[in-house]
A and B are shown apart, each in its own frame.
Chain A
Amino acid sequence: MAKSENIIRILKLPSDAFNKHRPVSDLLWTQVEHLAAVVKGMIDTERRAITTEEQASAFIKKYTAFLHQPAAGKKPAASPNGTRKKTARSSGNGAGKKTARSSKR
């Protein structure tokens, strides 16, 4: 157990020491800019890696959820055309290969 002469008191902070409205310092601003640059780079890397609809939709979902939180986690509405079952499709490029299909818009 610490003896009283070994105890050094931590001085108390005044209640008005906290100020989240203080103007941002150079240090913090640099941190913000570094993070922004890193995130932009990450998004660009993700974007450039997209080649399929699945990848595109995953990207779109991720950043839609970032922009619109209530959309995240909700089940998608039922399609008026019903949901197509996955079936093996023959393709002109070789049996069993998935091919990109254009969709009517």
Chain B
Amino acid sequence: MSIGLDNLKHIVVLMMENRSFDHMLGALKMVDPRINGLSGDEFNPDTQNASIKVQPLAEYQGQLDPDPDHHFPGVNLQLYDGAGGPPAKPTMQGFVKSYFQKRRDVNHSHKIMYYFPPEKIPILTGLARSYAVFNGWFSSIPGPTLCNRAFAHYGTSFGEVGMNLFYLNVPFKSIYERMLNAGRTAKLYYFDQQSSSQEVVNLLKKQPQLFGLYEDFLRDCKKNRLPDYCFVEPNYSDHEDDGGGELIASDQHPDHHVLAGEAFIASVYNAIRKNPTLWKSTLLLIAYDEHGGIYDHVPPPACTPDGFTASAEATGTGAPFAFDRLGVRVPAVAISPWIPRGTVVAGPEDPVNGRVFEHASIPNTVMQAFQIQDDNRSPREKAASTFLDLLSDQMRPDSDCPVFK
């Protein structure tokens, strides 16, 4: 066991919304070639068969409107470009054609290939360069938000591939329940009541005591009351608080302003970073739930099936889905002073040392960290890669760890 792992007392996960790895971090390849990002030659055909290359022209807001398709059939088109399907390897050539369907505007459809230069999103890229960036973190299924987030909470989505989630008589408990049953502490912090949690139907309704607000998270960080494991949700909407003040959406879901999400990421990081006790004993993971329909160049790999099947009717593609392949790659950064600067966790591009991660890696890592024995979990979760090995024996000095202001 490393000294960093020995010191670990808290794991915090912040899950953002709907941006692909290449869109947010792809430009870092030019700064660090170990990062499996963009060379600039990646392209997709548009509806007129023109080759549309990736370009560093992503804008903070107003560009990805209407919202790109990220439901199961739409993602299927993005992966396979309408030709073939599993078990063939995805071609990753259907993103522009998929986005064209939203507005029937050829020029507008090209914007799905745009990505951010690092200086436009200094918080996320700064964290990726300062700590550990995952080349191979994929969304858990090639579909939308709720079923992907379910993998982070339960290690499975119980056969769901859409947005209608009412789990009845589920065979596996959430990671929060497992933590509590093992005498540990766990919490989900949502931003405020107007934003609420995405886990409304199941966790919020059945176990409201698991929840807190973001102001509670900040207070708990300050007062050393952070639970062993917690999950933080950003603000999902532009709305006013009770005093009439403007609260801007911070989830980075298109078309919310990306800089609001940067500020929120900075806020979560700073809350931990500024408390020395917490800083040396906390592992923070920032991950995105799914790619939002935005381009990424890495074909999602196959994975251990989780024992459920979605029908052809449910998938909308004419074929059932056995939860045996992952969704599109998303940004994921692990943060701790025990992680060496500039760590790049190799992904499928490295056939020898590469590892594949997905959202089921989260509950599996938490189980491992707190040594909770419970075999009643989905096969996907039990097989998921964990990331505690990123914690080394050396704690970096404060002078080597960024602060955001």
User: What is the CB-to-nearest-CB distance from A31 to chain B, in angstroms, rounded to a whole number?
Assistant: 6
Q: Find out whether the CB atom of B260 lies under 8 angstroms from the CB atom of A8.
A: no
A37 contacts the other chain (CB 8 A): yes
List residues 234-293 of chain B with CB under 8 A from any CB of chain A.
236-240, 246, 248, 253, 255, 257, 259-260, 262-263, 266
Stretch at the interface among A21-29, A64-72, A80-88, A96-104: A21-29
Number of interface residues of B (CB under 8 A): 44
The one of B17, B123, B400 that contacts A8, using a Cβ cutoff of 8 Å: B123
Q: Find out whether the CB atom of B122 lies under 8 angstroms from the CB atom of A34.
A: no
The one of B61, B120, B237, B400 that contacts A28, using a Cβ cutoff of 8 Å: B237
Interchain Cβ contacts within 8 Å, total number: 93
User: Residues of B with Cβ closer than 8 Å to A?
Assistant: 17, 60-61, 67, 120, 122-123, 126, 144-146, 163-166, 196, 198, 200-201, 204-205, 236-240, 246, 248, 253, 255, 257, 259-260, 262-263, 266, 398-405
A10 contacts the other chain (CB 8 A): yes
Q: Which single residue of chain B is at the shortest CB-CB distance from A12?
A: B259
Taking CB atoms, residues of chain A closer than 8 Å to B166 are 37
Q: Find out whether the CB atom of A2 lies under 8 angstroms from the CB atom of B403.
A: yes
Q: Find out whether the CB atom of A9 lies under 8 angstroms from the CB atom of B163.
A: no
Q: List 26 A-B contacts (CB under 8 A).
A: A2-B398, A3-B399, A6-B402, A7-B404, A7-B405, A8-B402, A8-B404, A9-B404, A11-B259, A11-B262, A13-B248, A13-B259, A13-B263, A17-B60, A17-B248, A18-B248, A20-B238, A20-B239, A20-B246, A28-B236, A28-B237, A30-B163, A30-B164, A35-B196, A37-B166, A37-B201
Q: Which single residue of chain A is at the shortest CB-CB distance from B70?
A: A26
User: What is the CB-to-nearest-CB distance from B203 to chain A, in angstroms, rounded to a whole number?
Assistant: 11
Q: Find out whether the CB atom of B248 lies under 8 angstroms from the CB atom of A8.
A: no
User: What is the CB-to-nearest-CB distance from B31 to chain A, in angstroms, rounded to a whole number?
Assistant: 15
How many angstroms between the C-alpha atoms of A14 and B246 in the bound complex?
13
How many angstroms between the C-alpha atoms of A28 and B198 in the bound complex?
9
Taking CB atoms, residues of chain A closer than 8 Å to B163 are 26-27, 30
User: Residues of A with Cβ closer than 8 Å to B?
Assistant: 2-3, 6-14, 17-20, 22, 25-28, 30-31, 34-35, 37-38, 42
Q: Which single residue of chain B is at the shortest CB-CB distance from A35?
A: B200
Taking CB atoms, residues of chain B closer than 8 Å to A17 are 60-61, 248, 257, 259-260
User: What is the CB-to-nearest-CB distance from B273 to chain A, in angstroms, rounded to a whole number?
Assistant: 9
Q: Find out whether the CB atom of A34 lies under 8 angstroms from the CB atom of B145.
A: no
Q: Find out whether the CB atom of B246 lies under 8 angstroms from the CB atom of A8.
A: no
User: What is the CB-to-nearest-CB distance from A27 to chain B, in angstroms, rounded to a whole number?
Assistant: 6
Given A26-B163, A31-B200, A35-B200, A7:B403 Cβ within 8 A: yes
Q: Find out whether the CB atom of B240 lies under 8 angstroms from the CB atom of A20.
A: yes
Taking CB atoms, residues of chain B closer than 8 Å to A28 are 236-237
Q: Which single residue of chain A is at the shortest CB-CB distance from B198?
A: A31
Taking CB atoms, residues of chain B closer than 8 Å to A7 are 402-405
